[in-house]
Amino acid sequence: MKDKIPFVDLKSNYLSIKEEIDKSIQEVISKTAFIGGSNNPFVNKFENDFEAYLGTGNVVSCANGTDAIEIGLQALGIGIGDEVLVPALTWISTAEAVVNIGAEPVFVDINTTDNGIDADLLAEKITNKTKAIIAVHLYGTPANIEAIQKTCKAHNLYFIEDCAQAHGALYNNQKVGTFGDVATFSFYPGKNLGAFGDAGVIVCKSNKVTTIARQIANHGQEVKHNHLRIGRNSRMDGIQAAVLSIKLKYIDQWNKARIDNANYYNELINEDYQKPIFDKHLKSVYHLYVIKTDQRDKVLQALAENNIATGIHYPQALSEMNIFKNKTTCLVANKTCESIISLPIYPELEQSIIAEIVSVLNGINK
């Protein structure tokens, strides 16, 4: 059997910058700068580096992308009794975070183009308990930011961006993460910008929210032993920050490789499949390359037989899960869950492999 084509290849990504990475990790160890907080030079540096990358906003580091959403919501004053609109199709964290801070996620169906929350359905879901809308830039493609922002303004709601899959994505030439009152990023190893463990940041527009978020992430402390609120332990550690500062230098290059790979797939894949092709005002960074087909089982089987790894992001809409109180039927999300297939799209993926994958796809007798 031929070698498996993997879904991601974190090893070759590491090897491409091994020397720099190894040196920076050694430096953290030499300085025993293990835990984040107000005076870890590596964590401070990464916060500044990521702020410079975004160009605007205040970056507060934390332990992971799920915590980032929770802390961001709390820093905005959202909690028990409040409702937050959330897209029906996303990774569970987006809604889980809302529940964990005592609020209720209200699911809104998605649209079929950017696969994000459907801006036309927002108004009908808003009640006097609604405090915020979370947009997820799913698969690395910006959601309909302009329309969502307009609704937030009209109803006096906070706008939150979950950018866990979209480091460097552009909406009207502006980076995602710079639009929301709060934006959150995950640096889980498999994301476009990935650490060597868990890490995340909250990006805050206002200084007040920044200060509160920073306190919440570090036991409510303003300075050591001065606890101003009940917070938690959600710190980025020094090794993750050091790794991220190195990898941030390459993110644009790696995103470009993903985009080139996506364009190559788009060129080769035949019209039996719905391909991810977006309007020019959206620059996707293709965290995932997702095609749609109404013959998914057959296609998945053929890919598996040819030893090609695939994923489904995600097999079930959050709006269908029994764990959420506000279960509801979102038809577009449900149909999407049944038709999507994620193909390998990592930056190091070679075009010859893409051609191999597509020859299997295009050869399926449907």
Ligand X SMILES: *Cc1c(COP(=O)(O)O)cnc(C)c1O
Dist. CA 335–CA 324, nearest whole Å: 20
Q: Is residue 83 at the binding interface for ligand X, with CB under 6 A as the rule?
A: no
φ, ψ (nearest 5 deg) of residue 315: -70, -20
Select the span of 62-70, 208-216, 227-235, 327-335 touching ligand X (CB under 6 A).
62-70
φ, ψ (nearest 5 deg) of residue 308: -105, 120
Which residue lies nearest ligand X, judged by its C-beta?
Answer: 65
Nearer to ligand X, 164 or 243 (CB): 164
Residue 266: its H or E element: helix 251-268
147 neighbors 171 (Cβ within 8 angstroms)? no
Q: Is residue 162 at the binding interface for ligand X, with CB under 6 A as the rule?
A: yes
Select the span of 90-98, 107-115, 220-228, 330-338 touching ligand X (CB under 6 A).
90-98
Per-residue interface string for the shown chain with ligand X, residues 103-142, x marking contact by CB under 6 A: ---------------------------------x------
List the one residue from 36, 37, 57, 65 that touches ligand X (CB under 6 A): 65
Dist. CA 84–CA 205, nearest whole Å: 19
Residue 290, helix vs strand vs coil? strand
List the one residue from 42, 188, 254, 324 that touches ligand X (CB under 6 A): 188
Q: How far is CA 352 from the centre of its chain?
A: 28
Q: Is residue 58 at the binding interface for ligand X, with CB under 6 A as the rule?
A: no
Q: Which two tokens stand for residue 271?
A: 């019209």
List the one residue from 60, 76, 98, 164 that touches ligand X (CB under 6 A): 164
Least separation in angstroms between CB 148 and ligand X: 16
List the one residue from 93, 141, 284, 336 that touches ligand X (CB under 6 A): 93
Least separation in angstroms between CB 64 and ligand X: 4
| Distance separating the N- and C-terminal Cα atoms of the chain | 25
**Number of C-beta neighbours around residue 236 at 10 A:** 30
162 neighbors 133 (Cβ within 8 angstroms)? no
> By the criterion CB under 6 A, which residues form the site for ligand X?
64-66, 90-91, 93-94, 136, 162, 164-165, 186, 188, 198, 200
